[in-house]
Amino acid sequence: MAEIKSPLGDADRKVAGEALQGALIDLLDLSLTAKQAHWNLIGRNFKVVHEHLDEVVDLARASADDVAERAVAIGVNPDGRSRTVADRTQLPQLDPGYLGDDKVVAQIADLLGQIIARFRERVAATDEPDPVTQDLLIGITAELEKQHWMFQAQV
């Protein structure tokens, strides 16, 4: 069975592929983390934060799909299996059990800040090797920074 021929040379593909795989891990764990908070949340602002977290989940899932499909489109196999996500994620993990709303808002804001820093490195890294991949990463960064602002505004 044939493999996917990349529109990129080997070196460029390697750089772009690593950026995309890193982004995939960030986004998949973001989706799991936000769902965990969505379910275990308590506090006076429960309803609003509960629904806001699902907007983050939707963003993380849709972006993960775009990122992984971009990876395979340039001939790089994305790896989003549970074991891989758990081993490679750099996100701080939430505590088990009930999570107070104020603390959740602060944690999500903090966690988005960390992810954004890595996305900005990926944007810089892919500028030369693949402007198409870079454009996708820029678009996702814009959305993450918008959410980052909205969570910070509530702290």
Residues numbered 89-148 forming contacts with a second copy, rule: CB under 8 A: 89, 93-94, 96-98, 100, 102, 113, 116-117, 120, 123, 127, 131-132, 134-136, 138-139, 141-142, 145-146, 148
Contacts of 41-49 with CB under 8 Å at 24 or more apart are 41/98, 41/99, 41/101, 41/104, 42/98, 42/99, 42/100, 42/101, 43/100, 43/101, 43/102, 43/104, 44/101, 45/101, 45/102, 45/105, 46/101, 49/101, 49/104, 49/105
Distance CA 68, CA 39 (A): 26
Shortest gap between Cβ of 108 and a second copy (angstroms)?
12
Shortest gap between Cβ of 23 and a second copy (angstroms)?
13
CB closer to a second copy out of 7 and 14: 7
Is the Cβ–Cβ distance between 75 and 5 less than 8 Å? Answer: yes
| Site track for a second copy across 31-70, x = CB under 8 A | -xx-xx--xxxxxxxxxxxx-x--------x--xx--xxx
CB closer to a second copy out of 14 and 46: 46
CB closer to a second copy out of 19 and 28: 28
Exactly one of 1, 9, 10, 11 binds a second copy (CB under 8 A); which one?
1
Neighbours of 44 (CB within 10 A): 10
Q: Is 18 in the site for a second copy (CB under 8 A)?
A: no
